């Protein structure tokens, strides 16, 4: 039964603006830039963006995805992130629950979205994002009276990935798994719990492998072992799907 309370309405009404803020996080965090100052500006011409440039989704559609001042194309992921952020809010409200449940759930989904896109674009999983995800996932677990298994899952997930990372580095003499993935597994482990950790990694591997195969087919270039794969994005997507499925079943 969709929740029609004030908090549900607030989450949906705020989601376009938050989606817009998420694009700022994706654009700036991996570059080590401040996310609050200066205000949004065009990456090409540097012109500061005013209120009419910053209406989520609508500005993009009205100006056909181009900067109003220099007509440079704005990367389409801005639009996809804004739409997905609104979609996540609608899904969480449709699932219902207390105001705290909905707020924690939607923030978790938003964080997973930002992590996935940041990894896809930059092959980076910034610490503030993996840290915030772990905090959100553990708080969610605490509200569902499963904090202890969630802590175990966080430790097992991170520990296993750290061991794979160390083992691969010792074997091949180069980095095969980033430290960002190790930290991401703390939050994802806490989110899905210890028993679903193997399924999470299996699902993410399938997604990553399928994407790599599609890329080989599209570009006709063989995949090399030192070619970076955005595994963090696959993990984040798998985690979001698994967590949502668990919410629907319960
Ligand atoms: Zn411009």
Average pLDDT, the chain: 91
How far is it, in rounded angstroms, from Cα 144 to Cα 232? 26
User: Could you give the dihedral angle defined by the CA atoms of residues 5, 9, 11 and 12, in that order, rounded to the nearest 10 degrees?
Assistant: 140
Q: Tokens 């570009």 identify what position?
A: 219
* Burial profile 156-183: b = 16 or more Cβ within 10 angstroms, e = fewer: ebbebbbeebeeeeeeeeeebbbebbbb
The predicted-structure confidence for 123-170, as pLDDT tens digits, reads as follows 999 999 999 999 999 999 999 999 999 999 999 999 999 999 999 999
**pLDDT higher than 80, residue 224:** no
In this prediction, residue 4 has a pLDDT band, given cuts at 50, 70 and 90, of low
Q: Which of 86, 87, 94, 88 is nearest to 4 (CA)?
A: 94
Q: What percent of the chain lies above the pLDDT cut of 70?
A: 98
The Å distance, Cα 49 to ligand 1 centre, comes to 9
Neighbours of 76 (CB within 10 A): 10
**pLDDT higher than 80, residue 225:** no
The Å distance, Cα 47 to ligand 1 centre, comes to 6
How far is it, in rounded angstroms, from Cα 1 to Cα 112? 25
The Å distance, Cα 59 to ligand 1 centre, comes to 14
Structural element, H or E, at residue 60: helix 58-62
What is the SS3 assignment for 157-217? HHHHHHHHHHHHHHHHCCCCCCHHHHHHHHHHHHHHCHHHHHHHHHHHHHHHHHHHHHHHH
**pLDDT higher than 80, residue 227:** no
What ranges do the domains of the chain cover? 1-97, 125-250
SS3 (DSSP) at 3: coil
The predicted-structure confidence for 57-106, as pLDDT tens digits, reads as follows 888 888 899 998 899 999 999 999 999 999 999 999 999 889 999 999 99
The Å distance, Cα 39 to ligand 1 centre, comes to 14
The Å distance, Cα 114 to ligand 1 centre, comes to 24
This prediction has a pTM of 0.93
The Å distance, Cα 42 to ligand 1 centre, comes to 5
**8 Å CB contact between 22 and 113:** yes
The Å distance, Cα 73 to ligand 1 centre, comes to 8
């Amino acid at each position: 039964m969709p929740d029609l309370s004030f908090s549900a309405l607030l989450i949906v009404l705020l989601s376009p603006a938050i989606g817009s803020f998420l694009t700022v996080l994706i654009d700036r965090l991996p570059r080590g830039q401040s996310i609050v100052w200066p205000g949004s500006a065009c990456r090409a011409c540097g012109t500061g963006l005013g209120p009419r440039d910053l209406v989520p989704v609508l500005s993009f559609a009205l100006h056909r995805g181009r900067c109003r001042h220099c007509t440079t194309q704005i990367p389409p992921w801005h639009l996809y992130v804004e739409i997905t952020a609104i979609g996540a809010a609608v899904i969480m409200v449709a699932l219902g629950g207390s105001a705290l449940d909905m707020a924690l759930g939607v923030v978790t989904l938003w964080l997973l979205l930002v992590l996935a896109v940041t990894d896809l674009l930059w092959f980076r999983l910034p610490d503030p994002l993996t840290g915030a995800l772990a905090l959100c996932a553990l708080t969610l677990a605490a509200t569902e009276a499963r904090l202890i298994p969630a802590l175990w899952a966080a430790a097992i997930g991170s520990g296993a990935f750290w061991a794979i990372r160390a083992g691969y580095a010792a074997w091949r003499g180069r980095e095969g798994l980033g430290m960002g993935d190790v930290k991401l597994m703390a939050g994802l482990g806490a989110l899905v719990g210890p028993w679903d950790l193997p399924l999470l990694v299996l699902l993410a591997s399938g997604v990553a492998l399928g994407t790599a195969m599609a890329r080989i087919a599209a570009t006709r270039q063989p995949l090399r072992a030192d070619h970076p794969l955005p595994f963090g994005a696959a993990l984040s997507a798998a985690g979001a799907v698994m967590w949502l499925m668990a919410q629907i079943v319960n």
